[in-house]
């Protein structure tokens, strides 16, 4: 194709894109509805439309140019995957060392961010059991997070129980809810399962919102006690029974933050360790077999009911742990923290990380949560970019960052399973 006609075609394509953008954004961006003195009024914003349309035009042109003159040396996806596999062996220990030593040199802000990221890593690893290992698409994972958080908050404020007593209880209660959800949806698969779990998550949120006598409704529960270190508190006055008093150091807020950081790090590593060990057990193998083919599983005599229920229960249990931690860290919870968006974020982390890959989930959580944190200054555009990233990732790398995996157990040599052969979400 002669270069000249190619340029003309590209310009025409970009012009058409800009025209579509004008249609899309002309009214929505160009005319902002605002509350006027008597009724709504329209505030025209022609420049915003012009800029958006210009960006679309330039972006489309740039994309076409990139496609036409892509550098020849761009590595193929297969090479990238092979490189990632080699790098993975060294990346995981390095990340662990980095995570363990972070409080030594990081300030308050970075520790808080670390706690946030680790919470999502833990949620991601918990959901990974359900979605990544057992192949059950769960869009209502936040329900278990909420159950854990409310269990701890209610037990602590009503019965005066401590964090370490309530943590197992919160996990247990969440696991019970996991089984309760699991029972009715045993027969469902794929998209239908996703929608039912979504509905379940919303039902939990609406009940939390409206059962005012128990949960205090939309006002939430405040004054949730902080965790203690073997009975030592992290009070700022440094009185008797506090960590500062016991070790004879100045009380500082960073001590509590660092402690919380290590608590969530420990919980997350526990989740990781349990799921890695479970993958070696017959149960874990049954999960993976279930993900690949439910009918074959049945034919081979695997009890599908218990396999699915344990997957829901284990995933929910870790969600409950994470929820209890969330409650103690925030010291305040309300139903607003447990909306569908949270489920979507956690699912996105699992999917972007590559279903079933522990390291991938951790990396995805760092990128997504850390990444959106960087855009905090543009808080309004944060979720916009997040949603766009989901779409772009699905188009460019639908298998996630770490996109192929070896089976946990195999006869003889470890054979690579091509990602395309794995029919996730089908059963």
Closest approach of other proteins to the CB of residue 139, in Å: 8
Q: Which of 120, 2, 94, 15 is nearest to 58 (CA)?
A: 15
If one asks whether residue 5 binds other proteins (CB under 8 A), the answer comes out as no
Q: Which of 113, 121, 347, 359 binds other proteins (CB under 8 A)?
A: 347
153 C-beta neighbours (distance < 10 Å), count: 29
Q: Which of 51, 341, 374, 409 binds other proteins (CB under 8 A)?
A: 341
Chain center to CA of 46? 38
Site for other proteins in 30-49 (CB under 8 A): 31-35, 39-42
What is the b/e burial string over 233-251, where b = at least 16 CB atoms within 10 angstroms of the residue's CB? Answer: bbbeebeeebbbbeeeeeb
25 C-beta neighbours (distance < 10 Å), count: 17
Q: For the window 204-243, what string marks contact with other proteins as x by the rule CB under 8 A?
A: --xx-xx---------------------------------
Rg (CA), the chain: 25
Q: For the window 146-175, what string marks contact with other proteins as x by the rule CB under 8 A?
A: ------------------------------
Phi, psi of 303, deg, nearest 5: -75, 100
Chain center to CA of 115? 14
Burial of 170 (0-12, 13-18, 19+ CB in 10 A): buried
Distance CA 36, CA 43 (A): 10
> Of 282 and 387, which has the nearer Cβ to other proteins?
387
Pick the stretch among 3-11, 84-92, 95-103, 186-194 that binds other proteins (CB under 8 A).
186-194
> Of 158 and 210, which has the nearer Cβ to other proteins?
210
Closest approach of other proteins to the CB of residue 383, in Å: 4
Pick the stretch among 4-12, 24-32, 154-162, 300-308 that binds other proteins (CB under 8 A).
24-32
Distance CA 24, CA 30 (A): 10
Phi, psi of 107, deg, nearest 5: -85, -175
Return residues touching other proteins (CB under 8 A).
20, 23-25, 27-29, 31-35, 39-42, 137, 184-185, 187-188, 190-192, 194-196, 198-200, 202-203, 206-207, 209-210, 295, 340-341, 344, 347-348, 351, 355, 380-381, 383-384, 386-391, 394-395, 398-399, 420, 422-426
């Amino acid at each position: 194709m002669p270069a000249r006609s190619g340029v003309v075609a590209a310009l025409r394509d970009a012009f058409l894109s800009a025209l579509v953008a004008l249609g899309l954004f002309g009214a929505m961006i160009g005319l902002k509805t605002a509350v006027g003195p008597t009724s709504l009024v329209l505030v025209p914003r022609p420049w915003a439309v012009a800029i958006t349309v210009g960006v679309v035009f330039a972006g489309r042109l740039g994309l076409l140019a990139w496609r036409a003159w892509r550098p020849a040396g761009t590595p193929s996806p297969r090479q990238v995957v092979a490189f990632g596999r080699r790098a993975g062996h060294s990346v995981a220990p390095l990340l662990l060392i980095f995570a363990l030593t972070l409080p030594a040199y990081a300030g308050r802000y970075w520790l808080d961010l670390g706690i946030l990221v680790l919470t999502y890593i833990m949620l991601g690893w918990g959901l990974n059991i359900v979605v990544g290992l057992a192949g059950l698409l769960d869009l209502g994972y936040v329900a278990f997070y909420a159950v854990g958080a409310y269990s701890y908050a209610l037990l602590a404020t009503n019965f005066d129980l401590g964090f370490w007593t309530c943590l197992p209880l919160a996990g247990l209660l969440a696991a019970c809810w996991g089984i309760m959800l699991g029972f009715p949806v045993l027969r469902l698969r794929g998209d239908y399962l996703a929608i039912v779990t979504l509905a379940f998550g919303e039902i939990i949120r609406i009940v939390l919102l409206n059962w005012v006598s128990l949960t205090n409704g939309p006002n939430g529960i405040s004054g949730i006690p902080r965790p203690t270190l073997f009975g030592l508190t992290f009070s700022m006055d440094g009185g008797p029974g506090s960590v500062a008093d016991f070790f004879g150091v100045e009380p500082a807020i960073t001590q509590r933050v660092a402690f919380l950081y290590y608590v969530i790090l420990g919980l997350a590593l526990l989740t990781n360790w349990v799921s890695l060990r479970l993958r070696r057990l017959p149960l874990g193998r049954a999960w993976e077999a279930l993900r690949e083919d439910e009918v074959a599983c049945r034919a081979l005599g695997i009890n599908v009911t218990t396999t699915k229920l344990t997957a829901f229960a284990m995933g929910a249990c870790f969600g409950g742990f994470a929820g209890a931690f969330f409650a103690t860290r925030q010291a305040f919870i309300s139903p607003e923290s447990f909306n569908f968006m949270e489920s979507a974020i956690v699912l996105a982390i699992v999917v972007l990380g590559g279903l079933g890959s522990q390291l991938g989930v951790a990396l995805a959580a760092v990128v997504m949560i850390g990444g959106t944190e960087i855009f905090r200054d543009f808080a309004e555009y944060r979720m916009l970019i997040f949603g766009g990233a989901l779409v772009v990732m699905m188009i460019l790398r639908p298998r996630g960052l770490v996109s192929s995996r070896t089976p946990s157990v195999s006869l003889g040599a470890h054979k690579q399973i091509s990602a395309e052969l794995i029919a996730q979400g089908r059963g």
